[in-house]
Structure 1
Amino acid sequence: MSLALDPAAQDLLFREARTANTFTDDPVTDDQIEAIYDLVKYGPTSMNQQPLRIVLVRSAEARERLGEHMSEGNRKKTAAAPLVAVLAADNEFHEELPSQFPHFPQAKSLFAERAVRERSAKLNALLQVGYFIIGVRAAGLAAGPMTGFDAEGIDKEFFSDGEHSVLVVVNIGRPGENAWFTRSPRLAYAQVVTTV
């Protein structure tokens, strides 16, 4: 094969990995999440923006507040998952650029216009969302990413500063009973790739 990653790792991260809909009661620790972050923070973003922000929803009170904004089909899953992460884009990421990107002093001025900044924050944070999900899988856990929610409600509830935009809510844990739906088909190479 042309891949450097061994087949077992390929299966863990991609072929056998699935979106979990149920979870066991096994806890997901802060150490596990820190290890995941310490791995996936190396994934590339444009100009090293790193706009992803993560809120870990652990308390029953916070879980209830989040559940009020989830779509009906996602409420039970969110309530039952060992850990829920709210992944958002920091629309003021440019404030961190001088320290994160010292060899590019004009970087901050490139994002002076809010619309440009928000577009870039969303794109790059979504890249980091993908890295985060792969990182959860690399830790031997399952992720259940969801976009069925009231984004405005979650932003107000968890990001009252108005500087963040929720992108995805991810349930995290070990897969439980009947965790998987039937796998949906994937497009073939020839349907996706063209050469010019």
Structure 2
Amino acid sequence: MKREPDLAILQAVPDTGLEQLFLHARKVHAFKPVPVADETIRALFHDLLRWGPTAFNAPPAHYVFVRSAEAKARLRPALTGSNTAQTLAAGVTVIVAHDTKFYEHQPDPFDGHDGRSIFKNHEEAARAMAFRNTSLQGAYLVLAARALGLDAGPQSGFDAALVDKAFFPDGRYRANFLVNLGVADRAGSFARGPRLAFDDLAEIV
């Protein structure tokens, strides 16, 4: 059995880990047609992604790992511009969607708060919470993929309504964004774009 981590002894990730997750990592725009195995997909979710914190420990995200040629064909009409080629080439494309009824899978009362009744009876609060936390879970997905040695290319350049129609016809799930995962084709990659400095975006008060 795995021992629960002792928060008092957590240490900074070594430089090699920081490089893989952030410093050398890039959003990928071109992929080699290398498949991503079931074992990797399950490890990405089970070992890493699902442990990222969300409000009330709720599970609002729903993931569809689009890998087969048939599934990619269903996704293709929703893709736009240069996103089409990179998505079709990627080993797997993840549709990160939010579950409009996520509270049905809500864990038992968390810190004295019954999330089920809170969100079941407040539609607007449930909608905002689901979208916000699904976006957060999508970021965990990118980092988990990088941690396992995969390249990632998140994108929002697609027709969400067409994705919903093709993959979620009953209306329960709503697509948020896509994440292409696999092995980067460095020949088709762009130079890393600039980033704004701390003082441009942040402040300490």
Bin of the TM-score, shorter chain as denominator length: over 0.9
Q: Deviations over 1:76-113 (max 9, x none)?
A: 1111112111110111101111xx23444632121122
Between the aligned residues of both structures, percent identity stands at 36
Where does structure 2 lack aligned partners over 5 or more consecutive residues? 1-10
Residue 131 in 1 paired to residue 140 in 2?
yes
Number of residue-to-residue matches in the alignment: 192
Q: What TM-score does the superposition give when structure 1 sets the normalisation length? A: 0.92
Corresponding letter in the other structure for 1:24: K
Give, in whole Å, the separation in 2 of the partners of 1:72 and 1:41. 32
- For 1:125 and 1:184, the matched residues in 2 are separated by 26
Is 1:23 the counterpart of 2:15? The answer is no
Could you tell me which residue of structure 2 aligns to residue 48 of structure 1? 57
- The whole-number CA distance in structure 2 between the counterparts of 1:47 and 1:179 is 41
Give the corresponding residue for 2:108: 101
SS at match of 2:93: strand
Deviation at 1:151, TM superposition (A): 0.7
Where does residue 11 of structure 1 map in the other structure? 19
Question: How does 1:54-69 map onto structure 2 within 5 Å?
Answer: 54-69=63-78
Equivalent positions of 1:137-156 (< 5 A) are 137-156=146-165
Tell me, in whole angstroms, the C-alpha distance in 1 between the residues paired with 2:84 and 2:33: 17
- The DSSP-based 3-state class of the residue aligned with 2:176 is strand
State the alpha-carbon separation in 2 of the partners of residues 58 and 195 from structure 1.
44
| Structure 1 position 48, deviation (Å) | 0.5
* 1:157 partner SS: helix
What's the TM-score, normalizing by structure 2?
0.88
Question: Matched residue of 1:144: which SS?
Answer: strand
1:160 aligned residue: 169
Deviation at residue 29 of structure 1 after TM alignment:
0.6
State the match for 2:42 in structure 1. 34
- Contact 1:47–1:101 (8 Å) recurs in 2: no
- How far apart, CA to CA, are the structure 2 residues paired with 1:179 and 1:53? 30
1:77 maps to a residue whose letter is Q
Using the TM superposition, give the Cα deviation of residue 153 of structure 1 relative to its aligned residue in structure 2, in angstroms: 1.1
Is the Cα–Cα contact under 8 Å of residues 98 and 130 in structure 2 kept in the other structure?
A: yes
SS at match of 1:64: helix
Is 1:122 the counterpart of 2:131? The answer is yes
